[in-house]
Amino acid sequence: MRQMVRWLLVVASLCSASVLSAQVPAQPAEVTVTLGLSAAPLYGPWKFHIGDSPLDPKTGQPLWAEPDFDDSAWENVDLTPKGGSTDPTTGVAGYVPGWTTKGHPGYWGYAWYRMRVQVNLPLHQQLALAGPPDFDDAYQLFANGSLAGSFGGFGTHRPTVYYAQPAMFPVPDSGATQVIAFRFWMEPSTLLAAPETGGFHSPPVLGELGVVRLTYQSNWLAVIKDFSARALLILVFGLLALLAFSLILFDRFDSVYLWMGLLFLLTASQSFFAVISEWSLWLSIPESNLLFGVIVPLNNAAWVIVLWIWFGRGVFRRLPQLVAVLTALNIICSVLGNEVLVGLIAHSAAERFNHASVVLAVVLMCLLAWIVINGIRRQGLEGWLVLPVVLLSGFSTLLTIEPSLQVREVWFPFGVQFSLRAVTDLLISLVIGILLVRRLLRSLERQRQMALDVKQAQEVQQVILPEDRVILHGFEIESEYRPAREVGGDFFQIIPDEKDGSVLIVAGDVTGKGLKAGMLVALLVGAIRTAVRFTPNPAAILDELNQRLLGRHDALATCLALRIERDGSATLANAGHLPPYINGKPMEMEGSLPLGMVKQLECSIHHFQLAPKDRLLLLSDGVAEATDPDGQLFGFERVLELVRTQPSAARIAETAQAFGQEDDISVIAVTRIPAPALA
């Protein structure tokens, strides 16, 4: 109940003070305010003077703060807002233009306001003053010559300024007449950041401590409400960033998800730093200008790259390099234009850099519109969905970087604040959410189709592989194939010749793994089957395979071709493949280049004889390259120990796979069967 009474008193006192102010003559000597449990806004008139006060040589205090200082020659300033006046950018009612519209255009630096107030306050009541909620950029408050408080840092040669926030200061009890003096400082960059700048944009409130505290709390509630939408956007875009990054797990090859995640992080961080700057004193205005001077250009650039990737990189392949250059220039111009590096350049030069940053931002927005228009031509619906959001976002960004356009950005339908930027960002989140879901569904469908293609390729590869165990014309041939993925890059063919009882074995390993390797395998198997129809010569067969691979990008393969006659005589041609093992010992052969490297293939040729019960092993490098969890290779020494025990092909493959398979594993074991065993 007591709180409600205090609120009613505040409202009544504000209304009475407005009437009182309207009846004050043009140049009064002082203003009389009768206070009970109430407070009154100090509309004025105030005495005003640009520049800074000299110091009293005795006390070291500013002379312009002294109660007896003669300010009669100073200008008169009335802080009573005109009916229906609103902030030209935020739309907040009760806005008072600053000193740049009252005879001091382009002025920045120090300025003073003074006012004599006759206070009739009941005994035992504490007097307090609520600082103006809207002002530029920092101030010190003096009451009867004594420093009562400040907003901003005044401990250095150049004050530290922050975004305007409510403040409250107890006023010492020093008599009925109070001389209130404000020493203001405005940054040069503020001239570029907003129109009608300088000093007060709303009046301070003087009154009883408890009532002033309520005014102070009310001002803070207004600030929190004004930026609550930005705080919500931090959560919205943070979740969108998490969603975009998580979609990488579903489609690692679509880089748009990574870029969108970065874009949403930049947007969320932009809102985060804006809220932090308005709700706390953690970031000064120069620090905020530095952050926004980097984040805003990066955000605009990320939009261009995201949509460029989204619509298929169909326009201007060198666009990322162009965007990088424009963004770097934009960051430099923004930082210099906002005079973050104090004193580095003159204010007139900073204005030119600020205009240059606007031009660069417009160029990026034009690139963005061009990409979307091309996207409409190529994809239709998605481009039309993006176009209005991009236009709104571009217009909102332009208002942010060029406030001199004086376009209203904030509306209050039904008493709730809606800013153009917040509406635009929420529209962006809605449209992007729809597009992300649509793109994800298309990506999942594409992956399902790719999985089906891989399965079909795997089935085809199984069809073209020979049986695990066959007996042909006095030879027992075992084979084992274990791909590292669904589709492997190892291949082999066992082709008997019914005319003379010989058998041809071709085994190889193409570079790479997966579907691409499987397609090369299909090509080579088809080439083997074709070549065998025209020649039984192993070297000629390898030469034909070499010709098939020449000129194809990254199409290389190691391969050997072995022809064994019915009497056990054998001819082996090798092109970079591992030499076979005969009866547990590696066969001595000269090295040679793989297929697909040179036009004139020079494979190594070896002639030998397989006696009855001799066993020949053909291995791919996947056996020796098996790697355990500690990174240790299976190696050729273990391979040699393994083959000396004359295990089956399946046992060799199983041992290497259990050790730690890294590559495709294929094993072919050829044993010449003695004549009695055949019978």
Per-residue pLDDT reduced to its tens digit, 385-431: 777 767 766 666 665 555 555 555 666 555 555 666 667 767 776 77
pLDDT higher than threshold 90 for residue 674: no
Question: What pLDDT does 444 receive?
Answer: 74
Q: Mean pLDDT across the stretch 51-68?
A: 90
Three-state helix/strand/coil letters over 573-626: EEEECCCCEECCEECCCCCCCCECCCCCCCCEEEEEECCCCCEEEEECCCCCCC
CATH of the domain at 528: 3.60.40.10
Position 289 confidence tier, pLDDT thresholds 50, 70, 90: confident
Same domain? For 471 and 614 the reply is yes
Same domain? For 246 and 142 the reply is no
The alpha carbon dihedral of 626, 629, 631, 633 has a sign of: negative
Among residues 221, 247, 263, the one where a domain terminates is 221
Q: Could you give the percent of the chain with pLDDT greater than 70?
A: 82
What whole-number distance in Å separates Cα of residue 204 and Cα of residue 47? Answer: 15
CA distances from 390 to 65, 318, 363, 369, 387 (A): 52, 22, 14, 7, 5
Residue 634, both tokens:
């299976």
Same domain? For 150 and 265 the reply is no
Among residues 198, 221, 244, the one where a domain terminates is 221
Residue type, 179: V
pLDDT higher than threshold 90 for residue 34: no
Position 484 confidence tier, pLDDT thresholds 50, 70, 90: confident
The alpha carbon dihedral of 123, 124, 125, 126 has a sign of: positive
Same domain? For 127 and 198 the reply is yes
Same domain? For 353 and 385 the reply is yes
Q: Specify burial of residue 247 (Cβ count, 10 A radius: 0-12, 13-18, 19+).
A: buried
Q: In which domain, by residue range, is 11 found?
A: 2-221
Same domain? For 167 and 313 the reply is no
Same domain? For 231 and 193 the reply is no
Q: Mean pLDDT across the stretch 256-268?
A: 87
The region, left, alpha or beta by phi > 0 then psi within -120 to 50, assigned to residue 198 is left
pLDDT higher than threshold 80 for residue 549: yes
Higher pLDDT, 382 or 40: 40
Question: What pLDDT does 676 receive?
Answer: 57
CATH of the domain at 207: 2.60.120.260
On whether residue 135 sits in a domain, the answer given is yes
Question: What pLDDT does 467 receive?
Answer: 59
Position 129 confidence tier, pLDDT thresholds 50, 70, 90: very high
Which residues are 321's β-sheet partners? none
pLDDT digit string (tens) for 487-505?
667 888 888 888 888 899 9
Residue type, 678: L
| Nearest Cα to Cα of residue 522 among 476, 581, 566, 456 | 456
pLDDT higher than threshold 50 for residue 21: no
What whole-number distance in Å separates Cα of residue 182 and Cα of residue 162? Answer: 17
On whether residue 87 sits in a domain, the answer given is yes
pLDDT higher than threshold 60 for residue 4: no
On whether residue 338 sits in a domain, the answer given is yes
pLDDT higher than threshold 90 for residue 20: no
On whether residue 538 sits in a domain, the answer given is yes
| Domains identified in the chain, total number | 3
Q: Mean pLDDT across the stretch 566-572?
A: 91
Same domain? For 212 and 352 the reply is no
Q: Mean pLDDT across the stretch 457-472?
A: 62
pLDDT digit string (tens) for 144-153?
989 999 999 9
Higher pLDDT, 318 or 27: 318
Q: Mean pLDDT across the stretch 560-580?
A: 91
Q: Could you give the percent of the chain with pLDDT greater than 90?
A: 25
Higher pLDDT, 534 or 114: 114
Of 65-79, 240-254, 315-329, 648-662, which range is least confident? 240-254
Higher pLDDT, 512 or 72: 72
Residue 289, both tokens:
């200008």
Mean pLDDT value across the chain? 81
Residue 83, both tokens:
């009916």
Question: What pLDDT does 458 receive?
Answer: 57
Same domain? For 247 and 278 the reply is yes
Among residues 167, 196, 221, the one where a domain terminates is 221
Higher pLDDT, 47 or 178: 47
Question: What pLDDT does 36 receive?
Answer: 60
pLDDT higher than threshold 70 for residue 131: yes
Question: What pLDDT does 7 receive?
Answer: 41
Higher pLDDT, 209 or 84: 209
Residue type, 236: V
On whether residue 548 sits in a domain, the answer given is yes
Same domain? For 406 and 504 the reply is no
What whole-number distance in Å separates Cα of residue 661 and Cα of residue 627? Answer: 6
Question: What pLDDT does 422 receive?
Answer: 66
On whether residue 251 sits in a domain, the answer given is yes
On whether residue 459 sits in a domain, the answer given is no
What whole-number distance in Å separates Cα of residue 193 and Cα of residue 148? Answer: 29
Residue 306, both tokens:
């995201």
On whether residue 460 sits in a domain, the answer given is no
Which residues are 153's β-sheet partners? 160
Of 333-347, 384-398, 577-591, which range is least confident? 384-398
Position 461 confidence tier, pLDDT thresholds 50, 70, 90: low
pLDDT digit string (tens) for 66-84?
999 999 999 999 999 987 7
- Residue 337 · residue 356 · CB < 8 Å: yes
Same domain? For 574 and 505 the reply is yes
Of 47-56, 242-251, 324-333, which range is least confident? 242-251
Question: What pLDDT does 89 receive?
Answer: 61
Same domain? For 210 and 231 the reply is no
Question: What pLDDT does 260 receive?
Answer: 85
